[in-house]
A and B are shown apart, each in its own frame.
Chain A
Amino acid sequence: MTSTLALEGVTKRFPTGTVAVREVSLALEPGDFVTVVGPSGCGKSTLLRLASGLESVTGGSIDVRAAATSYVFQDATLLEWRSALRNVELVGELRRIPKDERRRRAQEALDLVGLTGFETQHPRQLSGGMRMRVSLARALVADPDLALFDEPFGALDEITRLQMQTELQKLFQLKRFAGLFITHSVSEAVYLSTRVLVMSGRPGRIVAEIAVPFPYPRPPELRYEPEFAELTGQVSHALGEHS
């Protein structure tokens, strides 16, 4: 099996007895960008924590074949006392990459997300959208084969959110990591992904899988096409039936 990430019948039961995720199977191949939508509290984030190894499964198995995995959090999760560049460099520091190389790679990652010139700014001096860009740069700096996203744009305003979606699918086309993206926005799920998985309310199970055939790069206007509306309709319908 060549999947970058494979989940087989994964179940997570917390010590309190709550079953967050039940019998979830999914496989991510290189070049897949899979989004998971579901009602709040359905175990989407737990699914991501399991995939990343932050939590361990209580049933089933997880197989990760990635030299590097990165994780983008719900908020930017930057270290406030570090400049933008040093925040991105942190990953290299923790992995003990020599200073010159990690600095060069951090600079490249910042350039990639459009933050050239903001290297020395601290998080408090940046807007919400720019903080999230630093967070994306930090995720990309390790050149991940697998990138996990935990509702990263949920806290952003609508305009910034649409911009970030446009940029993320460009980055995906450029870097071709396998992506697993959690969201509760149906249009975000369809716009970004090659495949949308719909989760039911707790305990979370996958109840529908909808392929998204549009080629990358995707123009922002794609959101107004009838085919796009057709797909968001299907996803919303699946969500409505199982929540």
Chain B
Amino acid sequence: MTILEAPVTGLPGTPAPPTRRPWWRTALARAVPIVAALAGIAVVWYAVSYLVLPADQRFLLPPPHEAFGSALANPALMGPMLEALARSAGVAMVGLAIAVVLGIGYATVMSQSGWAERILYPYAVILQTIPILALVPLIGIWLGYAFTARVVVCVIIALFPMISNTLFGLQSASPAAHDLFSLNRASRWQRLAKLQFPAAVPSIFTGLRNASGLSVIGVIVADFYFQQGAPGIGGLLRTYTLRLQMEALLTAVALTALFGVIVFSIFAALDKAVVGRWYGGHTR
């Protein structure tokens, strides 16, 4: 028997690898829009500071170089701020880890029978639809105003995307693939381990990406309301607001945004890397 088809290595006429764009040009092409957007924000900011606000109200929005400059040059301010950020990052990651384990477990139980799904899914939806701010006072009363309560807020906010994405993934295998397993008399465990779970891997990483972004929001909210013990970055946001320390507040907000972007980017990159490899490297 002869092989009648050649392996597919690319579309006909695709240039060979050596003629590909060098990596730095790809990096540049990606960086340009980000830099342009930041420059745009800076322009608007300066315009508001100098053109919109009268000089005696300029303290409400000091221009960027003053806002960041004075904060960054002040170690007494930056030290505690970075410590608080690290503390918040820790809480967010602990919350995310718990949400991942709980979410995957909950979805796995639901995937095992229609009954389990019908009974358990509404609770997940309720968790998602109650605004987190409505739950925060209760969590504070029940669990106190320190580490545990903050982690719980992160878990609650990050849990739903883990549950819904994992469940979607576990149910994504085709009916024919399930038939294949039935015909070979696969056990429930074999079906879960060799079909449903591997089929869910890409969705689980999508869920992880979304949950990571939400866990950052969760920790800021929790820090903001739960002030007991060493403060997180959200706690400092509240303190700076109350004291009307605009430079510190703006710097903390920028740090928070940067933190969110970094966390999301890390998990987005992880998602892309894992899913690419999952399907055997390069895809068509």
Which residues of A come within 8 Å of B, CB atoms? 52-54, 69-71, 73-75, 77, 79-83, 90-91, 93-95, 112-118, 120-127, 129-130, 160, 163, 167, 170
Knowing A77-B174, A79-B177, A94-B186, the reply to whether A112 touches B279 (Cβ < 8 A) is no
| 20 A-B contact pairs sorted by A residue (CB < 8 Å) | A73-B179, A73-B180, A77-B177, A79-B194, A79-B195, A79-B199, A80-B279, A81-B278, A81-B280, A82-B198, A94-B186, A116-B3, A117-B3, A121-B7, A122-B280, A122-B281, A125-B281, A129-B5, A130-B5, A163-B4
Q: Is B190's beta carbon under 8 Å from chain A?
A: yes
Give chain A residues whose Cβ lies under 8 Å from the Cβ of B20. none
Q: Is B30's beta carbon under 8 Å from chain A?
A: no
B contacts with A, residue count (CB < 8 A): 31
Q: Is B188's beta carbon under 8 Å from chain A?
A: no
Q: Is the interface of A mostly helix, strand, loop or mixed?
A: loop
What mask results when residues 163 to 179 of chain B are scored 1 for a CB within 8 Å of chain A, else 0? Answer: 00000000000101101
B183 x A74 contact (CB < 8 A): no
Determine the distance from Cα of A167 to Cα of B195 in the docked complex, in whole angstroms: 29
Give the nearest-CB partner of B6 in chain A: A127
Give chain B residues whose Cβ lies under 8 Å from the Cβ of A126. 7-8
Determine the distance from Cα of A163 to Cα of B174 in the docked complex, in whole angstroms: 27
Give chain A residues whose Cβ lies under 8 Å from the Cβ of B201. 81
B176 → chain A closest CB, angstroms: 4
A54 x B183 contact (CB < 8 A): yes
Give B266-284 interface residues, CB cut-off 8 Å to A.
Answer: 278-284
Give the nearest-CB partner of A142 in chain B: B184
Give chain A residues whose Cβ lies under 8 Å from the Cβ of B76. none
Determine the distance from Cα of A81 to Cα of B199 in the docked complex, in whole angstroms: 8
Give chain A residues whose Cβ lies under 8 Å from the Cβ of B25. none
Give the contacting residue for A95; candidates B179, B184, B284; CB below 8 A.
B184
Determine the distance from Cα of A163 to Cα of B179 in the docked complex, in whole angstroms: 27
Determine the distance from Cα of A130 to Cα of B180 in the docked complex, in whole angstroms: 19
A130 → chain B closest CB, angstroms: 6
Knowing A112-B1, A118-B7, the reply to whether A83 touches B176 (Cβ < 8 A) is no
Determine the distance from Cα of A113 to Cα of B4 in the docked complex, in whole angstroms: 11
Give the nearest-CB partner of B282 in chain A: A125
Besides A53-B183, A81-B199, 5 more A-B contacts (Cβ < 8 Å) are: A77-B180, A81-B280, A93-B190, A125-B281, A125-B282
B279 x A81 contact (CB < 8 A): yes
A125 x B284 contact (CB < 8 A): yes
Give B2-37 interface residues, CB cut-off 8 Å to A.
Answer: 2-5, 7-8
Knowing A52-B183, A71-B180, A91-B184, the reply to whether A124 touches B279 (Cβ < 8 A) is yes
A182 → chain B closest CB, angstroms: 14
Give the nearest-CB partner of B277 in chain A: A81
Give the nearest-CB partner of B195 in chain A: A79
Give chain A residues whose Cβ lies under 8 Å from the Cβ of B5. 127, 129-130, 160
Give chain A residues whose Cβ lies under 8 Å from the Cβ of B259. none
Determine the distance from Cα of A146 to Cα of B255 in the docked complex, in whole angstroms: 66
Give the nearest-CB partner of B184 in chain A: A94
A94 x B185 contact (CB < 8 A): yes
